[in-house]
């Protein structure tokens, strides 16, 4: 718990990086110093540190780039329609609060299309982030914003409009609506979320899309029941088929997210197939340092406690690619990297002494 208390006490990322650098260097020196004094214990007696797989939806989508030139891309509203010529979308992008969004939607309420409805949700997420920053001293500003949102008849109207057109709603856009409504705070067991989830499931079974599937799985597996496994059952063969055909970095990224969500259902042959694909990407230099977002998703999957000890070498190869990119990573990814590197050092020591 000490490291998390330290993180909370830091005022910015640069301070954390200084601490992180000192912390890892100190840990490495201490490990070297005590090696000769540690008894030889069988591998299965060692308590290898476990990386928590909970709340990974927060881990996976943290912005990784800090340069001022790319700050604009850190905003949710630019994910889909950054250079849109649509007047309504551009009006929405200029909104600074909920009232601005409602005024824009009311002005065009009879002609809203899938893109504009989707953009409304993305903009609301950005407004929530701003609200939380301004009100950071309050106990739970995110929940406060959600309450204000749910008590608004305009928000009810937005959801009703989306629901009324759900049968013909663009599947890709609907997956973003699904993901960001959940990130705003809507419960996945609320009726609109259940309806959207069912629609996405049906669409994916008829016409599979990896990126849509990854967003779909991110949300449904937040539900603590067997229902997510039932909903994803028919998608597993399609994901494995995509793994067999995986040639693109983006596909590897989405497959890593999908398999991570389904890790409790995976068999050793599927894991072997995945590690072979990653190994090919590394050997052919298809996976490089510039793909650090994908590399971190690969590490996130390989670091699942059930099989990470057998994949230490592959994880080490991935980490080496990030050698000059550590300064661009946010805290959740730094913690993942630290845990993975820590596992590598422990495994190396254990293998040497058993």
Domain ranges of the chain: 67-207, 236-354
The model carries a pTM of 0.76
Q: First-to-last CA distance in the chain?
A: 30
Model pLDDT, residue 321: 87
User: Residue 84, Cα to own-chain centre: how many angstroms?
Assistant: 25
Model pLDDT, residue 312: 86
Model pLDDT, residue 54: 39
Per-residue pLDDT tens digits for 52-87: 333 344 344 433 333 333 333 458 898 998 888 999
Per-residue pLDDT tens digits for 250-263: 999 999 999 999 99
Per-residue pLDDT tens digits for 297-351: 999 899 888 898 889 889 889 888 887 777 777 777 777 777 766 665 554 444 4
Per-residue pLDDT tens digits for 102-116: 999 999 988 899 999
Max Cα-Cα span within the chain: 75
List, in sequence order, the alpha helices (H) in the chain: 2-9, 13-34, 56-60, 78-81, 87-93, 98-107, 114-134, 141-150, 153-164, 171-184, 191-206, 210-220, 227-232, 236-244, 249-261, 268-283, 292-302, 312-321, 331-353
Per-residue pLDDT tens digits for 199-246: 999 999 999 999 999 999 999 999 888 999 999 999 999 999 999 999
For 82-111, b where at least 16 C-beta lie within 10 A, e where not — what string? eebeeebbebbbebeebeebbebbeeeeee
Per-residue pLDDT tens digits for 269-293: 999 999 999 999 999 999 988 888 8
Residue 8 has pLDDT above 70, yes or no: no
Model pLDDT, residue 333: 74
Residue 90 has pLDDT above 70, yes or no: yes
């Amino acid at each position: 718990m000490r490291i998390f208390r330290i993180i909370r006490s830091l005022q910015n990322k640069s301070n954390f990086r200084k601490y992180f650098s000192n912390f890892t260097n100190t840990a490495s020196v201490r490990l070297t110093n005590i090696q000769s004094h540690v008894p030889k214990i069988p591998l299965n007696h060692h308590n290898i540190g476990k990386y928590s797989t909970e709340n990974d939806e927060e881990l996976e989508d943290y912005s990784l780039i800090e340069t001022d030139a790319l700050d604009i891309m850190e905003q949710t509203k630019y994910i889909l329609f950054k250079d849109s010529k649509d007047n309504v979308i551009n009006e929405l992008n200029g909104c600074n609060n909920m009232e601005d969004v409602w005024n824009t939607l009311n002005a065009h309420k009879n002609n809203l299309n899938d893109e504009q409805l989707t953009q409304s949700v993305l903009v609301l997420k950005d407004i929530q982030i701003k609200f939380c920053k301004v009100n950071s001293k309050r106990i739970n500003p995110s929940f406060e914003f959600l309450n204000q949102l749910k008590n608004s008849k305009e928000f009810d109207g937005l959801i009703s409009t989306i629901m009324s057109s759900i049968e013909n709603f663009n599947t890709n856009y609907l997956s973003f609506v699904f993901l960001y409504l959940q990130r705003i705070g809507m419960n996945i067991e609320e009726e609109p979320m259940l309806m959207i989830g069912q629609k996405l499931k049906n669409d994916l079974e008829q016409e599979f899309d990896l990126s849509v599937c990854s967003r779909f799985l991110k949300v449904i597996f937040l539900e603590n029941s067997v229902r997510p496994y039932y909903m994803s059952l028919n998608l597993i063969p399609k994901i494995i088929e995509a793994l067999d055909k995986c040639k693109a970095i983006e596909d590897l990224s989405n497959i890593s997210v999908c398999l991570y969500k389904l890790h409790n259902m995976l068999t050793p042959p599927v894991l072997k197939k995945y590690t072979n694909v990653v190994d090919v990407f590394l050997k052919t230099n298809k996976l490089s340092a510039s793909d650090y977002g994908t590399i971190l998703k690969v590490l996130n999957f390989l670091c699942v406690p059930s099989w990470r000890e057998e994949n230490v070498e592959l994880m080490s190869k991935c980490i080496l690619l990030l050698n000059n990119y550590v300064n661009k990573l946010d805290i959740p990814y730094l913690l993942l990297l630290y845990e993975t590197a820590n596992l590598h050092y422990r495994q190396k020591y254990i293998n040497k002494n058993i």
